[in-house]
Amino acid sequence: MRHPTNNYNFNIIRNEVNEHEEFVAKRPRVSHCQPSSAAQYTSKTADKGTCEKGCYDVSTFSDHAIKCANNLFHSKYHQRDFCKEGDCCSVSKNEAEQLTKQSYKFQHNWLQNRSLSFCVTTEMWWPVYVEGEGLYCLLCKKHDTFNPQNKSKIFNKEPCKRFRPEALADHLQTTQHKNAVAAEMLQRVSCFQKTLVERERVAEDVLVKVFTAAYWLMKEELPNHKIKSLLQLLEQVGMSDMKHFLHRSQGALREIFLTLGKTVQDTFLSKFKQAAHFGLLVDDLTDISVTEQMTCFAQFYNKSGRVVETGFLSVNNPLEDSPSADASTITNCIIETMDKFSLDSRKLSSFVSDGAAVMTGSRSDVATKLKELNPQLINFHCICHSLALACINTLSSVSYINSVLKWLSQLWYVSKFAKKMAVYLKTQAEMKALTLSTEKACSQVSRRLKKACTTRWLSFDASVKAVYADYLALIHTLNN
């Protein structure tokens, strides 16, 4: 039973074909367009007829027919438009010798006969003769139609070897050919079909642009949800092809970022696995959603590039399968990560952590457990973290540094009030004698004070630099 939607679409196609046939029927025709024998007209007569006033003007579809034939046939073939362009009026000598052995021979002038070879509806010359094979239908092969009764594909996949004019005339009346004509007309007149063809043509180029835009967001550390507005911007500034990218759901965009991440990771792993030795940099932290996360980076020496490379390896939740993030849990996560990427634990030569007790304790820490896999493993306490801890510990013994930290904290606390901060920023602008036309320019030139905190690395340094850079403006603001 045919689905109602299919009947509806079939009727639309038929109506479009019938309307076109009625339009063509109203145009004047010359007498030789009526049915006649295959040998009535020669190539010269047919070519002349196409130029006479009132005949079909098929020049619009000639290039299209030649292009389709070139894509569909790779052997030496003969087709009316192709032969006319190349001044061909007969088959090759070898083919002619082969045809002499047959009782019914293919005649080249059949390709020029309108009553046999010209499709009034599509205005295309449809027969194609391939030497050594037989006759094909350009329309049937293009749209891959078949006989609905026996599913045969004569004139399509299989050549017709019945070299008689009646064979060409009979093919015009088959359902297979009529379906090919209907498909051709639908492809021409349907705006939906044109959109589909255009979308298919630019599909690969659009994907490259979308993935490039997503990669730029990742490199600039911008929020992933900005990808939608970025794609809209690209479409507005001239990349009209971006309208053909329809996969803009949250799930589809997430797959894009995951695919990019997987590609970057695979590129890194392909070089990483060739290293003779490697080290792991591990840190355990809690993200903004209060989820425990263990981040792992890998470092190795790249012999081909003669440089030390560091790349992201994995992020795991230690509490997913364990009640606490102790040394055993973290060690198991590291081992699972190495097994996941097929890394040889005997090549693990160094382990870098923040120096916490669970990482570098005296007995049952992570470093000790990893040394069981490779006794040659070297344990490192992160240099930056060690420096930060050393600076914090000196505050108790150096009173001046302790006082400076107190002053910086008080200045930052005062600057939290909006009115006082506005006065401070205005004073900066006046003292620098700048003419600022926009609020954005003011925010870029003026500097805000930074908070000094013992628990954040380098915050002390940033706070001191902020005060030093605008020290005069700060003093002037406090005096007023």
Pull the structure tokens for residue 106. 């293919």
At 56 the pLDDT is 36
- HSE of 42 in the Cβ direction (CA atoms, 13 Å)? 5
What is the mean pLDDT of the segment spanning 47-57?
34
Whether the per-residue pLDDT at 409 is higher than 80: the answer is yes
Residue-wise pLDDT tens digits, 201-211: 888 999 999 99
Averaging pLDDT over each range in 72-76, 173-177, 426-430, which range is the top one?
A: 173-177
Q: In Å, how far from its chain's centre is CA 402? A: 55
Q: Are the beta carbons of 249 and 269 closer than 8 angstroms? A: no
Query: Residue 384 and residue 396: Cα distance in Å, rounded?
Result: 20
- HSE of 217 in the Cβ direction (CA atoms, 13 Å)? 22
Q: Which range has the worst mean pLDDT, 204-213, 234-243, 361-370?
A: 361-370
Query: Residue 43 and residue 366: Cα distance in Å, rounded?
Result: 89
Q: How confident is the model at residue 437 (pLDDT cuts 50, 70, 90)?
A: low
At 99 the pLDDT is 83
At 304 the pLDDT is 86
CATH of domain 275-381: 3.30.420.40
Query: Residue 222 and residue 225: Cα distance in Å, rounded?
Result: 9
Query: Residue 388 and residue 125: Cα distance in Å, rounded?
Result: 83
Pull the structure tokens for residue 221. 């550390």
Name the helix (H) or strand (E) containing 298. Answer: strand 292-302
Strand order of the β-sheet with 127-130 is 77-79, 127-130, 134-137
Inter-axis angle of helices 471-479 and 459-469, nearest 10: 70
At 448 the pLDDT is 78
Q: How confident is the model at residue 434 (pLDDT cuts 50, 70, 90)?
A: low
At 212 the pLDDT is 94
Whether the per-residue pLDDT at 37 is higher than 80: the answer is no
The sign of the torsion formed by the CA atoms of 261, 263, 264, 270 equals positive
What is the mean pLDDT of the segment spanning 443-469?
75
Whether the per-residue pLDDT at 149 is higher than 80: the answer is yes
Q: Which range has the worst mean pLDDT, 72-81, 87-96, 386-395?
A: 386-395
Query: Pick the residue with more confidence: 292 or 35?
Result: 292
Pull the structure tokens for residue 32. 């030789």
Query: Residue 187 and residue 411: Cα distance in Å, rounded?
Result: 73
What is the mean pLDDT of the segment spanning 168-195?
84
Each domain of the chain, given as residue ranges in start order, spans: 4-189, 201-261, 275-381, 393-479
Residue with tokens 């020029």: 112
Whether the per-residue pLDDT at 299 is higher than 90: the answer is yes
At 372 the pLDDT is 87
At 446 the pLDDT is 65
At 18 the pLDDT is 54
Tell me which residue of 170, 126, 165 sits closest to 40, measured CA to CA. 165
With pLDDT > 90 as the criterion, what percentage of the chain qualifies?
Answer: 19
Pull the structure tokens for residue 376. 């040659």
Query: Residue 397 and residue 130: Cα distance in Å, rounded?
Result: 97
What is the mean pLDDT of the segment spanning 161-187?
88
At 447 the pLDDT is 73
Q: Are the beta carbons of 143 and 183 closer than 8 angstroms? A: yes
Strand order of the β-sheet with 378-381 is 307-316, 292-302, 278-286, 348-353, 378-381
Q: How confident is the model at residue 7 (pLDDT cuts 50, 70, 90)?
A: very low
Query: Pick the residue with more confidence: 422 or 141?
Result: 141
Q: Are the beta carbons of 180 and 145 closer than 8 angstroms? A: yes
Query: Residue 432 and residue 449: Cα distance in Å, rounded?
Result: 17
| Mean pLDDT, the chain, integer | 79
At 24 the pLDDT is 43
At 450 the pLDDT is 82
Whether the per-residue pLDDT at 197 is higher than 80: the answer is no
